């Protein structure tokens, strides 16, 4: 999400946000029968990337991990995919070529194994915007090494997907391409050969600018020996596409904003996924969202699925919160999205 820095200190703002609301949901032990046309229907489960200005930070104060019972509840609704944002610096804190922090990796391993143990997919998402300790990553070999170390954690888990990095932005386009390729190479070098790799683009990986101002068309030349690249794009429906407003531009803006990206995927023989999307709990946004999902469902030759932003126990009354049982979107938007899950 683009404006994460506004929210990363949420846990420190009061007990209303610090309470893990997901614990109040009713667990279920099996996933509802899925009728979706998509391979992946999911939710971003935030928490471990919070407090990104407080590194390494303290568990329970600066960051947290998703709640098991929330995964249960959302799986009961039909979701099968959960993207787990976290901080590169917390997992490998000293340098890109360093070693894993055992305590933090245990939290990541716990939630990933819980999701995949229930038959779901877990997307491992270093939520760093192409930066490491606030500096643009220019050490391509170091980035490859970081990924080789990280991928070894789940190399044998076929239900894991790898997200090279969240929302590269304001970076040299050749560098963005080279970092994505380094991530692919590093993951495969770890022996992680069975899983999909989600590559992201510049300009916050927006679908609406993918073929125009972002320069992301050069990512079509990325190579994977396993041929399992999925192009992850993000798409919000407010006026500037930032995902910070309950208002959507129109009832048709969702489909309109992904049409060019859809054509690009088809022309290049690629697969895509909307890794983040959301809209306000109102009729216009719901129409825009369902229109976009209907369009995607009619183009499943290229679109593999979509994920809502966002879930996680510390969102409180966040405008797009889908955390059970009382998140704004959980109550006000999700019922309208169930036909697409």
Ranges of beta strands (E only) in 206-312 are: 229-236, 272-278, 303-311
Residue recorded with tokens 């983040």: 276
Give me the phi and psi of 324, to 5 degrees please. Answer: -65, 150
Angle at 72 between CA 104 and CA 198, to 5 degrees: 55
Catalytic position from the list 49, 200, 232, 276: 276
* C-alpha closest to that of 187 among 149, 221, 157, 223: 149
- The answer to whether 91 and 108 have CB atoms below 8 angstroms apart is yes
Residue 167: active-site member: yes
- Cis amide linkage into residue 325, ω under 30° from 0: yes
- The answer to whether 21 and 321 have CB atoms below 8 angstroms apart is no
Catalytic position from the list 89, 167, 200, 323: 167
Residue 276: active-site member: yes
CB atoms within 10 A of CB 284: 18
Tokens representing residue 140 in the block: 């391509």
Tokens representing residue 163 in the block: 């997200």
- The answer to whether 280 and 250 have CB atoms below 8 angstroms apart is no
- The answer to whether 207 and 235 have CB atoms below 8 angstroms apart is yes
Q: Which residues are catalytic?
A: 167, 276
């Amino acid at each position: 999400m683009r404006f994460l820095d506004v929210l990363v200190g949420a846990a420190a703002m009061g007990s209303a946000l610090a309470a893990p609301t997901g614990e109040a949901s009713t667990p279920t032990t099996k996933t509802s029968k899925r009728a979706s046309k998509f391979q992946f229907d999911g939710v971003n489960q935030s928490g471990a990337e919070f407090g990104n200005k407080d590194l390494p930070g303290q568990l329970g104060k600066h960051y947290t991990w998703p709640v098991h019972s929330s995964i249960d509840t959302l799986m009961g609704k039909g979701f099968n995919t959960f993207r787990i944002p976290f901080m590169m610096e917390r997992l490998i804190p000293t340098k890109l070529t360093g070693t894993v922090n055992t305590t933090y990796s245990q939290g990541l391993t716990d939630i990933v194994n819980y999701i995949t143990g229930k038959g779901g997919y877990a997307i491992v998402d270093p939520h760093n915007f192409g930066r490491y300790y606030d500096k643009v990553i220019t050490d391509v070999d170091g980035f490859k090494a970081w990924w080789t170390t990280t991928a070894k954690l789940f190399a044998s888990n076929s239900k894991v997907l790898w997200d090279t990095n969240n929302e590269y932005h304001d970076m040299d386009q050749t560098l963005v391409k080279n970092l994505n390729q380094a991530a692919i190479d590093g993951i495969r070098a770890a022996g992680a050969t069975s899983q999909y790799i989600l590559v992201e683009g510049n300009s916050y990986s927006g679908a609406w600018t993918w073929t125009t101002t972002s320069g992301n068309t050069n990512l079509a030349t990325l190579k994977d020996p396993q041929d399992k690249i999925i192009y992850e794009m993000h798409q919000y429906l407010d006026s500037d596409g930032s995902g910070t407003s309950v208002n959507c531009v129109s009832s048709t803006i969702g489909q309109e904003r992904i049409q060019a990206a859809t054509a690009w995927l088809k022309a290049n023989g690629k697969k895509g996924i909307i890794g983040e999307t959301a809209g306000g709990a109102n009729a216009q946004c719901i129409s825009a969202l369902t229109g976009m999902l209907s369009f995607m469902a009619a183009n499943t030759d290229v679109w593999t699925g979509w994920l809502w932003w966002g879930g996680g126990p510390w969102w409180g009354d966040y405008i797009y919160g889908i955390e059970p049982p009382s998140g704004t979107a959980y109550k006000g938007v999700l019922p309208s999205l169930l036909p697409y899950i």
